[in-house]
Amino acid sequence: MFTVPQEVMNVMGAFASMFYSPVWNNALILTIGAILAIRQRTVSSCLRAVGLRDEKRFCNYHRVLNRAKWNTLQGSKILLGLLICLVPAVMPLIIAVDETIERRKGKKIKAKGCYRDAVGSSKGEVVKCFGLKWISMMLIVPLPWAKRPWALPFLTVLAPSEAANKAAGKRHKTTVDWTIQMIIVIRRWLPSRPIVLIGDGAYAAVSLALRCAGFSCPVSLVSRLRQDAALYDFPPPVQPGKRGKNPKKGARLPSVGQRIADPSAQWTAINVPWYDGGMRTLEAIWGVCLWYTPGFDPVPIKWVAVRDPEGVLRTESFFCTDLNAAPDQILRWFILRWNIEVTFEELRTHLGFETQRQWSDKAVARTVPCLFGLFSIVVLTAVEILKGKVMPVLNSAWYSKPEATFSDAIALVRRHIWSSNYTNSSRKTDFTDFRDDFFGIMIDLLCYGS
């Protein structure tokens, strides 16, 4: 029988309440198999990884995804509770949101659509592909073995295409609609914890900003701002005895693009931590105003425009719904968003994202959120195994990694699982012992396989 190490159970045991006992045992085996498997993350490859290739009741493991009764949303809540323990209590919860495309074809994949392929596209050429759009929220977490914080997924939802919703007779929800629904759920789970939500330009919407600012404990939304966005002054004080509706906004203000082009603008030098871990000096201007889009109430924002004094980077503008946030803090928050792109790449490289082959509606809706959550589970397990020790990093004479990456984390977990299942065979003359260095090479190849 395959043995699950205690460190793994310390993390996975939190999810046991989601399942009936037989389903939980099968789900646990699939999870271990998904960690140990290499290349494809199909159910069959997971079973082979734990030595169950001769299991005649293999259909029971498929039923965990396509038939069993359990709720991915409940799992997301449990996972978020585990991840929060990695964030210091004095810090706000920084959540990055973005979407990614799982390239899938086939008539049975009902929710698919035709989207821009961000991986294959470039500035000069747009490549489109058929697939499923997933919107994922990830908690930005500092880890003891890395200088940069990591983006750990905890809530991932499927956003069906407009054509799929039309064929199913359902109302179509845009990316912003799904994000609003997701942040409402998170705020219900954490009614009083400070939260910062970070997204790229696709999430720069007045409707989302209004929802984030409308909570009793507001969520701070940080995103890009169009340089031609309609900005207004705050309404003047209401005159006593004035009849009619009170104005919601004041006079139209110059756009951010006009302020950038203004030669009299007073730019201030600020230092921000850059993507490579160093510091970079930029110049910025900022202000507080109302952002308005027809059909919605105006929302108060703090905008920041930054330019590179060396002229290498293009001039960009950002906004935050927290009017008290410092300009450099807004930039620091937005720069953290890049970690979600790193996680997407690690998921494809090391956890077989896009290699699963389920086609039933329920299995399709469950498998990807489970794979995304598995990324966080691996990191949590690595933290549990190390307990303050140094993370082992695979180096070579021609390449020295400055710090550990996800490949080192999953290799540590794999090595720990396999070491818990080793058996010492009796001494026989017809067996030849491996040299210690050769055995170590084999283990490294297995642990670091993708």
Residue 117: inside a domain, yes or no?
no
Residue 110: inside a domain, yes or no?
no
Residue 130: inside a domain, yes or no?
no
Query: Dihedral, CA atoms, 376, 381, 387, 388, nearest 10 degrees?
Result: -40
The verdict on 328 and 226 lying in the same domain is yes
Residue 213: inside a domain, yes or no?
yes
Distance from C-alpha of 406 to C-alpha of 448, rounded to nearest angstrom: 10
Determine what percent of the chain falls in helix, strand and coil, rounding each to the nearest 5.
40, 20, 45
The verdict on 320 and 209 lying in the same domain is yes
The verdict on 217 and 276 lying in the same domain is yes
The verdict on 219 and 329 lying in the same domain is yes
Residue 308: inside a domain, yes or no?
yes
> What's this model's pTM, rounded to 2 decimal places?
0.92
The verdict on 322 and 379 lying in the same domain is no
Domain boundaries, position 268: 200-237+247-333
The verdict on 205 and 291 lying in the same domain is yes
The verdict on 317 and 373 lying in the same domain is no
The verdict on 293 and 253 lying in the same domain is yes
Residue 105: inside a domain, yes or no?
no
The verdict on 380 and 256 lying in the same domain is no
Residue that finishes a domain, picked among 333, 350, 369: 333
Residue 194: inside a domain, yes or no?
no
CB 343 within 8 A of CB 4: no
Distance from C-alpha of 57 to C-alpha of 80, rounded to nearest angstrom: 33
Residue 447: inside a domain, yes or no?
no
The verdict on 264 and 328 lying in the same domain is yes
Distance from C-alpha of 88 to C-alpha of 239, rounded to nearest angstrom: 47
Q: What is the domain count for the chain?
A: 2
The verdict on 251 and 325 lying in the same domain is yes
The verdict on 325 and 204 lying in the same domain is yes
Going residue by residue through the chain, which has 450 residues, state the pLDDT in tens, using 9 for 90 and above: 578 889 999 999 999 999 998 899 999 999 999 999 988 999 999 999 888 888 889 999 999 999 999 999 999 999 999 999 999 999 999 999 999 999 988 888 999 999 988 877 887 888 899 999 999 999 999 999 998 999 999 999 999 999 999 999 999 999 999 999 999 999 999 999 999 999 999 999 999 999 999 999 999 999 999 999 999 999 988 878 777 788 899 999 999 999 999 999 999 999 999 887 789 999 999 999 999 999 999 999 999 999 999 989 999 999 999 999 999 999 999 999 999 999 999 999 999 999 988 889 999 999 999 999 999 999 999 999 999 899 989 888 888 888 899 999 999 999 999 888 765 545 555 555 545 555 565 666 677 777
